[in-house]
């Protein structure tokens, strides 16, 4: 059995990850590649419970350390019970966010130490890293507008603009540090153009 590939989608709020994840799935399945769609935080029963704790806007104040550890606790479950088994069975795993989000939100947004995140990444993931990451990037105002139209804001969405500016900057730094793995997709264009860029990146990856 040939191991599948691990593809992640990243970006700030409201850049269109969900829609484009489905596009990605169709694109691959059209080429007879079996896919499994999942998300972080979440993907298993326990990890989805942790997601609920993390996003609940009415929660007590969650310390930055607790937030970081909850994110990685969910990730440990997700890797063991969903991602690794699916890859081993030859599926391509398409994941809505992964550890680049931790560098962006906890590292950039919350100013947590990068060395702590790196230590957790190595400890919890071992050698597992995405094979390809599509970073959907748009000015913060564009995405926040879309997020606000979706209804009540979750604990992250309720953050201020400067928080998301830091998150976006940290994502772009991840891109700079990992140019081979991360591909930038400009998300503030019409959907057909965004999807054309995604298809182009996929075609290069499949070569």
Residue closer to ligand TMP by CB (options 5, 159) is: 159
Instruction: Work out whether 121 is an interface residue with ligand TMP (CB under 6 A).
Output: no
Instruction: Work out whether 164 is an interface residue with ligand TMP (CB under 6 A).
Output: no
Instruction: Work out whether 105 is an interface residue with ligand TMP (CB under 6 A).
Output: yes
CB atoms within 10 A of CB 53: 15
DSSP state, residue 1: -
Instruction: Work out whether 156 is an interface residue with ligand TMP (CB under 6 A).
Output: yes
- What DSSP letter does each residue of 66-116 carry, written as one string? HHHHHHHHHHHHHIIIIIHHHHHTTPEEEEE--HHHIIIIIIIIT---HHH
Does residue 11 come out as left (phi exceeding 0), alpha (psi in the -120 to 50 range) or beta?
A: left
Instruction: Work out whether 171 is an interface residue with ligand TMP (CB under 6 A).
Output: no
Residue closer to ligand TMP by CB (options 3, 146) is: 146
As measured in angstroms, the least distance from the Cβ of 98 to ligand TMP is 6
Instruction: Work out whether 101 is an interface residue with ligand TMP (CB under 6 A).
Output: yes
Within residues 64-83, the interface with ligand TMP by CB under 6 A covers 71
Within residues 124-153, the interface with ligand TMP by CB under 6 A covers none
Residue closer to ligand TMP by CB (options 34, 57) is: 57
Structure tokens at 201: 């990146």
| Start-to-end CA span in the chain (Å) | 20
Cα gap 197→127, rounded to integer Å: 29
Residues lying near ligand TMP in the complex (CB under 6 A): 39-41, 71, 96-97, 101-102, 105-106, 156
């Amino acid at each position: 059995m040939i191991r599948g590939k691990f593809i992640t989608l990243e970006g700030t709020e409201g850049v269109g990850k969900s829609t484009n994840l489905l596009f990605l799935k169709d694109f691959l399945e059209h080429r007879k590649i079996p896919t499994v769609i999942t998300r972080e935080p979440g993907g298993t029963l326990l990890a989805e419970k942790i997601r609920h704790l993390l996003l609940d806007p009415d929660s007590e104040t969650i310390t930055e350390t607790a937030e970081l550890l909850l994110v990685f606790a969910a990730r440990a479950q997700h890797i063991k019970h969903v991602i690794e088994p699916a890859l081993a069975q030859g599926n391509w795993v398409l994941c809505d966010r992964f550890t680049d989000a931790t560098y962006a939100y906890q590292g950039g947004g919350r100013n947590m130490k990068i060395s702590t995140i790196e230590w957790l990444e190595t400890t919890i993931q071992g050698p597992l890293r995405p094979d390809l990451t599509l970073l959907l990037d748009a000015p913060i105002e564009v995405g926040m507008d879309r997020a606000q139209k979706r209804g009540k804001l979750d604990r992250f969405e309720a953050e201020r603009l400067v928080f998301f500016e830091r998150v976006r900057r940290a994502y772009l730094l991840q891109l700079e540090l990992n140019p081979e793995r991360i591909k930038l997709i400009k998300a503030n264009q019409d959907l057909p153009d965004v999807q054309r860029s995604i298809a182009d990146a996929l075609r290069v990856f499949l070569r």
